Chain A
Amino acid sequence: MNALLFKLTLAVYLAATVAYLAYLVKPQEKLGQVARWLLTAGFVIHGIYTLDRYLEAGHTPITNLHESLSFFSLSIVGIYIAFERKYRLFILGSFVTPLALLILVASTGFPSAIVPLNPALKSRWLVVHTVMAFLSYAAFAVAFGAAVMYLIQQHFLKSKKLGPLYQKLPSLDVLDEINYRCLTIGFPLLTFAIISGAIWAESAWGTYWSWDPKETWSLITWFVYAALLHGRLTTGWRGKKAAILAIVGFFVLLFTFLGVNLFLTGLHSYK
């Protein structure tokens, strides 16, 4: 049942991604609606899959890489759907859904068997800490998509080579606004995720902060986004600078999430 739901999610996400990419080639309202419908259906199935796994395991299913990647993908799709509703921009999906699909595909590379919960993770902080962390990651993923679009569109306008993609991409202003909006959602969530992690660490390991690689890299990620937010609010880092930082931030974030788990060992290594 659980495995079937997962496969179904994968299939529907694939279909949605294909539809969004087709929209990029031929931007017709109907095609966009089909893509949105598919993605929403995929999101619901993915949600049921996650819930089913929660019920079966008896704990928040974000305890190993397979589950984490799957939940990351679910969060991206969720946040993206919210943004699409607000901005009515199907084309954002052409840049964000492939990412969600890719992450879900990556999750299949790790064992998906439900294992008993590591005693160290047995806490109600688990759900707060992980869900907030992944929602913030997802907001930054959408910012990443918007930033890539910004740089492409900016390149067209600067070089004065206005190709077909130029016509399809939205205005720089909207892309910059999405970038900012994602930051204002993602940053507080990341902050709370780190704080809740620290509180949890105190009760689990007896110390708020122990400079474990995950903590260190989370802090680095936090600083990147803090710098971006600060720059935006004070000296007006917008447009290109903001887009580049959103992209850099996302790569740092990916390393914090994946690199640390795969290549470094520390307190957060729950394979």
Chain B
Amino acid sequence: MNIVVVGLSHKTASVEIRERVAFAPTQMEKPLKAVVSLDDVAESVIVSTCNRVEIYATTRDIAGGMARLKRFLADFHQIPHETLEPHLYAHHGEAAIRHVFRVAASLDSMVVGEPQILGQIKTAYGYAAEFKTSGIILNRFLHKAFSVAKRVRTETKIASSAVSVSFAAVELARKIFGDLSDKTVMLIGAGEMCELAAKHFLNNGARGVMVTNRTYERAVKLAEEFDGKPVAFEDLFDQLHKADIVLSSTGATHYIIRPKDVEEVIRRRKLKPMFFIDIAVPRDIDPKVNDVENVYLYDMDDLQSVVASNLQQRAEEAKKAEAIVDGEIGQFAKWLASMEVTPTIVALRSRFDEIRKAELARTVAGWKDLPPDGEKRLDALTSAIMNKLLHPPTSTLKRTGQGGRTDLYVDALRVLFDLQTGVPEGEELEELEE
């Protein structure tokens, strides 16, 4: 049985194409069942996110299976095959395994290390399990992919630092204040960036928001949106000491907050630290404010350089992650190979024969008055019994030949008769089931 991957991602297709081939999460039954009803396709899992649409399937006929899956994607979404074809990639064998491991570990993501993709694949797998389109091979394959992703996350720092400006600001605030739950955010001015950052602070536990604007009505309106408190612009310096985190983004052409203002404010706060984030261009806050004791000022450039260095760090961590993925492929490929019918029958026969020969030798050695042709006859007898016993399972396996049922039998035989597989078993398997 072979694992094949067919799909497209942000690397091969524009958003216009991606949205056309996306599957609606509430209607996964139909496509999943359609895939397994394709000729020679046994199992399927469909992953559909805004950045990628991929079908994972098992087939005996690699080239034919991949072609049918490509055709299915085009037909299902009523897109001409020629239009879709250039955007599609198809992998089989170790390349397919590597691809899925990398996707799950977020190494193939637009923002490498972003954590959502793993959850999305888990959801996709959930649908396949629900509609019973994934079987023994894909079950184990995806569990392995999850465990690889988990290893990557715990053993590398691939997802440990912020890669967006607003998250970088939240992270800095955490290093200054520790817990954000009793911290108040002051918004000066308005603007998308500023509001986004304020939202991030609130999502990360900040207690409340104060909003000020040159136009008081706008302050009131924005305050309502954040369930915060509006402050008249003239009262800014009367209220500023109540804020721990200040986000500024006004259209002012000169500095509106100067060091001496902040010195006054910080004195009123009994030197409790403050974090100023100046998103405005031109800047609202005099850079010298950063020199005031216990005050930290970051402007847009500073935040962007934090993000840039985090991205660079992620790229370095990604190298370690690739090594982890490489190390895991071999083991899984070995298991997959063992799932073939012929090697399983050979292994089963040799296991039986081993036992038969050992027992025969023991009996013969302890039998003093054994007739001259006794050993030959015993050998014939035991061989006959063994062959008779092995006949039904062997012929059943050969007959079913293809499809998910064979994989099930093969797996059962390997487990029941303890045939060497090179698979994750016992402890490791339990770990995968988490």
Contacts and interface: CB of A to CB of B under 8 A. Distances in A.
B256 interface: no
A145 interface: no
B87 interface: no
Nearest to B302: A160
A173 B172 contact: no
A158 interface: yes
Nearest to A157: B296
Interface string B152-175: 000001001100000000001011
A162 interface: yes
Nearest to B294: A239
Contacts of A169: 175
A236 B270 contact: yes
Interface in A192-249: 235-241
A153 B175 contact: yes
A240 B293 CA distance: 7
Interface residues of B, number: 24
Nearest to A176: B273
Interface residues of A, number: 20
Contact of B176 (A162, A172, A235, A237): A172
Nearest to B175: A171
Contact of B309 (A162, A235, A236, A237): A162
B296 A236 contact: no
A102 interface: no
B146 interface: no
Interface in B267-284: 269-273
Contacts of A238: 270-273, 294
A170 interface: yes
Nearest to A29: B154
A173 B174 CA distance: 9
Given A162-B306, A240-B294, A157 B175 contact: yes
A167 interface: yes
Nearest to B157: A167
Nearest to B269: A236
Contacts of B271: 235-239, 241
A157 B272 contact: no
B306 A173 contact: no
A171 B174 contact: yes
Interface string A154-196: 0001101010001101111110000000000000000000000
B178 A239 contact: no
A173 B177 contact: yes
A237 B160 CA distance: 33
B183 to A, nearest CB: 10
A91 to B, nearest CB: 13
A241 B293 contact: yes
B290 A167 contact: no
A137 B155 CA distance: 40
Given A160-B306, A166-B175, A238-B270, 9 more contacts: A160-B305, A170-B178, A171-B178, A172-B176, A172-B273, A173-B178, A236-B271, A237-B271, A240-B294
Interface of B: 157, 160-161, 172, 174-179, 269-273, 290, 293-294, 296, 298, 302, 305-306, 309
What 7 A-B pairs have minimum CB-CB distances, sorted nearest first? Answer: A236-B270, A173-B178, A171-B178, A239-B294, A236-B271, A160-B302, A174-B178
